[in-house]
Structure 1
Amino acid sequence: MLKEFRDFAMKGNVVDLAVAVIIGAAFGAIVTSLVGDIIMPIIGAITGGLDFSNYYIPLSAKVTASNLADAKKQGAVLAYGNFLTLTINFLIVAVVLFLVIRVMSQFKRKEEAKPAEPPKPSAEVVLLTEIRDLLKKS
């Protein structure tokens, strides 16, 4: 069973998937930083210095905090500012993935448009062709 698992884990598709997950996690961290550290502050500056990450609606009367972290400690809150930030994060990831896939599709179409070379015959086929040609001469 251990051998079967090793064989499965070392197949090309599994290794490719593992690499993709690691790269995806790193890409996600970059996009999160882009949204949180660059895009949302710009949007906040445009809207008068608002910080979307602290926007919330208290769901309990005892929540009186002025920031989201303290409000969560006091009771239930509806953190719609955080949701807005994560939605923008998702949209950026979706657009970037769309552009990457679009570029890859264009490259693939260019490769398909090129005439493919016929495959080289195997050594057996070459040998049989030579034998056939020798028999024709006889």
Structure 2
Amino acid sequence: MLSEFREFIAKGNVMDLAVGVIIGGAFATITGSLTEDLIMPFVGWLFGGVDFSSKFILLGSVPDGIAATDYAKLKEAGVAMIGYGAFITAVINFLILAFIIFLLVKWVNKVMRRGPDAPAGPTEVDLLTEIRDELRKK
């Protein structure tokens, strides 16, 4: 069983997948920073200085000692609320990732089409003629 596992791990696809997961995790961090540190502040500025990441609607009561506008502390305290600002940020982050993956797949498909042309095989007529000739020999 150990040799089968070693053979499975040594396959190119598994190693490619591992590299892809690691790079994807690092790339998600980059796009998260792009969204939170560059895009969302710009969007907030466009809407008059609004910080979308901390926009929410309270559904429950606010505990004593916590400001009703402190999203992070309310969330930490487990107050029922709808964090639509965080959701908007997550959607924008997803759209950025999806668009970049789309561009990557499009580029890979373009490179694959441009790759070395496969040698042309025999046509259907050639194959049928060959089969007919083999059958006549028997």
Give your verdict on TM over 0.5: yes
Q: Let me know the Cα RMSD of the aligned residues.
A: 1.7
Report how many residues are paired: 116
TM-score for both structures, normalised by structure 2: 0.77
Partner of 2:124: none
Give me the whole-angstrom Cα distance separating, in 1, the residues matched to 2:37 and 2:106: 28
Equivalent residues of 1:62, 1:74 under 8 A apart: no
- For 1:105, the equivalent position in structure 2 comes to 109
* Aligned twin of 2:57: 57
Q: Which portions of structure 1, spanning 4 or more consecutive aligned residues, are displaced by more than 2 angstroms? A: 61-65, 114-118
User: Closer, same or farther in 2 for the Cα pair 1:99/1:71, shift >3 Å?
Assistant: same
TM-score, with length taken from structure 1: 0.77
Mapped to 1, the partners of 2:79 and 2:56 lie a distance apart of 12
Point out where structure 2 has 5 or more consecutive residues left out of the alignment. Answer: 121-138
What is the aligned partner in structure 2 of residue 124 from structure 1? none
Pairwise mapping of residues 117-136 of structure 1 onto structure 2 (< 5 A)? none
CA contact (8 A) 1:54 1:82 kept: yes
Distance in 1 (CA, whole Å) between partners of 2:118 and 2:21 is 33
- Is 1:36 aligned to 2:39, yes or no? no
Give the structure, 1 or 2, with the largest relative contact order (CA under 8 Å, sep 6 or more): 2
Residue-by-residue CA offset, 1:23-58 (whole Å, 9 max, x unaligned): 000110000000000000000111011101101111
* Alignment partners' CA distance in 2, 1:116 and 1:74: 61
Distance 1:102 1:5, change over 3 A: same
Unaligned runs of 5+ in 1: 119-138
Instruction: Name the residue aligned to 1:70.
Output: 73
